[in-house]
Amino acid sequence: MGSNDFFTVAYKILSYLKYCYEHGEQPDPGVINERTLLISKAQYVETLRMLSDHNYIEGVTFTHTKEGVLYSFQE
């Protein structure tokens, strides 16, 4: 497995969210994103979508635009 396959990226996202949960912190989208994971925006968005679709995460909204899919986090 590579450092940017689905399972590795999903693990990193979920690990960060687990850390935030355990320490009572709000997740910061600037801490873990496509740039910090060294993956494409498309791969990051698709990973978020898959995690959301399978109920591993919630609070992510996806919007389809001409430029592609945008995502935002609800507080």
pLDDT grade, residue 72 (50/70/90)?
confident
Angle at 23 between CA 20 and CA 27, to 5 degrees: 20
The distance in angstroms from the start CA to the end CA of the chain is: 33
pTM of the model: 0.84
Over residues 38-66, the mean pLDDT reads: 91
Write out pLDDT tens, residues 7-44: 999 999 999 999 999 999 999 988 999 999 999 988 99
DSSP 30: T
Cα–Cα distances (Å) from 17 to 5, 14, 28, 35, 63, in that order, read: 19, 5, 9, 17, 22
